[in-house]
């Protein structure tokens, strides 16, 4: 591949994932990724801060999606309904990326440092959701509890969705997990 072909970021992402799966995250260098993509290390660093960011680069978009969906939920929507709308919005992004998500999660699961990074990113997402809920007028502790529940539902639904035996859409699984949460929290 020539370094002048389009979509350098996409090529780098594909090359990185192939190498992470084949060799392991720790054994893969930025030089390996750039070489596999037919690009230079300098080009890699124009697109990613480090090799971890190949796996986490979509987090900002995900956070924007969640916050926007919470903000745009009908004003009379309950806090849980607002975050459920955000979870369904995430499903629209995930559906086309299921194979990538499955490989990404396998790579993360195999590396404690990446697991820690994933937890940190989820904590940031949870905080952003709590702020979005507060901006809708949801008080404490309801905003924080709902944000925690949102991330828990997201995690459970995501793990079920990437399961190799799964044939259902992410949004369908989200709806099922939200209903289970309602059952658990019913007084």
Residue intervals in the chain for CATH 1.10.10.60: 8-52
pLDDT at residue 177 tops 50: yes
Residue 9 pLDDT grade (very low, low, confident, very high; cuts 50, 70, 90):
very high
The domain defined by 8-52 folds into Arc Repressor Mutant, subunit A (1.10.10)
> pTM of the full predicted structure?
0.88
pLDDT at residue 3 tops 50: no
Question: Which among 89, 74, 86, 182 has a CA at the least distance from the CA of 130?
Answer: 86
Give 39's contacts (C-beta < 8 A, 6+ positions apart): 3, 8, 11, 12
pLDDT at residue 59 tops 90: no
CATH code reported for the domain at 58-185: 1.10.357.10
Residue intervals in the chain for CATH 1.10.357.10: 58-185
Say what the pLDDT of residue 1 is: 45
Strongest mean pLDDT among 5-14, 83-92, 138-147: 138-147
Say what the pLDDT of residue 24 is: 95
């Amino acid at each position: 591949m020539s370094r002048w072909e389009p979509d350098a970021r996409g090529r780098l992402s594909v090359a990185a994932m192939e190498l992470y799966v084949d060799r392991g995250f720790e054994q893969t260098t930025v030089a390996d990724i750039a070489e596999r993509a037919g690009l230079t290390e300098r080009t890699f660093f124009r697109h990613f801060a480090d090799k971890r960011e190949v796996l986490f680069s979509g987090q900002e978009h995900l956070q924007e999606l969640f916050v926007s969906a919470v903000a745009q939920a009908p004003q009379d929507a309950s806090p849980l309904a607002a975050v459920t709308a955000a979870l369904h919005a995430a499903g629209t992004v995930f559906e086309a990326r299921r194979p990538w998500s499955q490989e990404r999660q396998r790579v993360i699961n195999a590396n404690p440092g990446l697991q820690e990074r994933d937890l940190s990113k989820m904590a940031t997402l949870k905080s952003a959701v709590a702020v979005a809920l507060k901006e809708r007028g949801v008080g404490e502790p309801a905003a924080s509890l709902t944000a925690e529940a949102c991330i828990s539902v997201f995690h459970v639904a995501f793990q079920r969705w990437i399961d190799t035996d799964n044939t259902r859409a992410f949004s369908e699984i989200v709806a099922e997990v939200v209903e289970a949460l309602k059952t658990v929290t019913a007084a």
